[in-house]
A and B are shown apart, each in its own frame.
Chain A
Amino acid sequence: MTDFSFDGKPIPFRPGQSVGAALTGAGIRSWRSTRRTGRPRGLFCGIGVCFDCLVVVDARPNERACLRLAEPGMDVRTQQGTGHDDLEI
């Protein structure tokens, strides 16, 4: 079994599985908080259209968990808001 890391915890996945599928398989249903009210979000359409399942992968925000293939050793993290708090406003 191969793993990636989600907020520091190992998540097992099968080859060819998406990040979203692996997280859901591990019983995790939300991995993002909305921009305005901080509500939880996870898979919705599951096919790359709705941009609801956004997640941070290897420090890059706004990856669609339903499309991104899981890879060994990935650092996946919960996304807060836009995921771009690093930008100056």
Chain B
Amino acid sequence: MPDVVVVGAGIVGAACAYYAAREGLSVTVLERGTVGGGTTSRGEGNILVSDKEPGPELALALASRTRWLELAAELGPDRFELEEKGGLVVAASDGGAAALTRFAAGQRAAGVETVAVSADRLRDHEPNLAPDLAAGVLYPQDMQVQPVLAAVSLLAAARSLGAAVVRGEEVVAADRGPDGHLTAVRTRTGRYPTGAVVNAAGTWGGEVGERLGAPIPVLPRRGFILVTEPLPRVVRHKVYTADYVDNVASDDAGLETSTVIEGTRGGTVLIGASRERVGFDSTMSVEVLRRLATLAIRIFPFLAAVRLMRTYCGFRPYCPDHLPVIGPDPRVPGVFHACGHEGAGIGLAPGTGALISELLTGGRPDLPAFAPARFA
């Protein structure tokens, strides 16, 4: 009987499994699809501090970033294409520049490294930027990984510590004892006796929570990404426009777009970011693609002569307050949640996994902002 069952083999489930196994717990991971096949594979693999305002999420992001660097050292060099590339946030107008400068000052006070870049120095950092941008801020701590490789590497490390990963298993219910405590997790075909389950089902965490008797309000927020043909290293940092931060925090249900551009180790350039609340509708939207392309060309004019190879979309797991759900469920003892990270799941995964493993081993980390109790 495993000490803990982790539901979901995305980046967060993989991190939970790894840290729990490292603490000596026996871990079974259940995944209904493929490793990293959900939202983990639908973003850009960002590990960002630049887009977070001071508060609990930024604190988790900073702690998590340190853990990513440790993981890169522990799991072997270059297992998941960790690149300490840094982020460059640009403002197109003077008003945007003033807002960006204020935002960065607040972050600096919270421990984020920021470097102000004046308009005439922007192209020292990114030679291909449009010449008429107002200002920028460089965030040296922003990083990127290949997120599916990262999930696979973490799970492989967990397995080498004794964890089991079972694919094709969809969780349907929880069994509880007379005292109400979890006693087993049921899947479509089997039953896994355990005293603890971690809901790391990402965008599907609301549904899994419901099945475990512990519903939480995690909903999908669709985003498209355009993929260019492979290019030389024409984009050095993660480059995005200052309005991205406002869009991330927005409660608007309609289409929102901001410009987020970065290269990958493979040479492709990824272009985002759109946000829409349309349920799990994965229909291609030419209108969204057109807007993303137009905005990207505004920042990097050379992209007008570059062709796209493909596009993809995915669903960010968001909660109404845009904070993840991490911690014990107050209704079903033995159920722990680790989901709802919206667009920051890759970056926040190791910190989340470490918190969950601390909880599972009897620790009591202070998690008020993330506590599932806020929805119960």
Q: Which residue of B lies closest to A51 (CB)?
A: B309
Q: Tell me how many residues of B have a C-beta within 8 Å of chain A.
A: 13
A85 pairs with B232, CB closer than 8 A: yes
Could you tell me the distance in whole angstroms from the C-beta of B9 to the nearest C-beta in chain A? 28
B261: min CB distance to chain A, Å: 14
Q: Is the CB of B232 within 8 A of A84?
A: yes
**A-side interface size class:** 10 to 19
Contact (Cβ within 8 A) B307 A87: no
Which residues of the partner chain A approach B234 to less than 8 Å between Cβ atoms? 84, 87-89
Q: Is A62 an interface residue (CB 8 A)?
A: yes
A-B contact count (CB 8 A): 30
List, in ascending order, chain B residues with CB within 8 A of A24's CB.
none
Residues of chain A within 8 A of B162, CB atoms compared: none
- A35 contacts B by Cβ under 8 Å: yes
Overall SS of chain A's interface: loop
Q: Of residues 75 to 89 in A, which have CB atoms within 8 Å of B's CB atoms?
A: 81-82, 84-85, 87-89
A88 to B124, CA, bound (A): 12
Known contacts A35-B267, A82-B267; A89/B309 CB under 8 A: no
Q: What residues of B have a CB within 8 angstroms of the CB of A89 in the complex?
A: 127, 232-234
- Asked if B128 lies at the interface with its beta carbon under 8 angstroms from chain A, I say yes
Inter-chain contact A84/B233, CB cutoff 8 Å:
no
Per-residue interface assignment for chain A, residues 47 to 80, with 1 indicating a CB less than 8 Å from any chain B CB and 0 otherwise: 0000100000000011000000000000000000
Instruction: Report the 10 A-B pairs with minimum CB-CB distance, sorted nearest first.
Output: A89-B232, A62-B229, A89-B233, A88-B127, A87-B234, A84-B231, A82-B230, A82-B231, A87-B232, A89-B234
- Residue positions of A touching B, CB distance < 8 A: 35, 51, 61-62, 81-82, 84-85, 87-89
- Known: A87-B234, A88-B127, A89-B234; 5 extra A-B contacts, CB below 8 A, are A35-B230, A51-B309, A87-B128, A87-B232, A88-B128
Please name 14 pairs of A and B residues whose Cβ atoms are closer than 8 Å in the assembled complex, sorted by A.
A35-B267, A62-B307, A81-B232, A82-B231, A84-B231, A84-B234, A84-B306, A87-B231, A87-B232, A87-B234, A87-B302, A88-B127, A89-B232, A89-B234
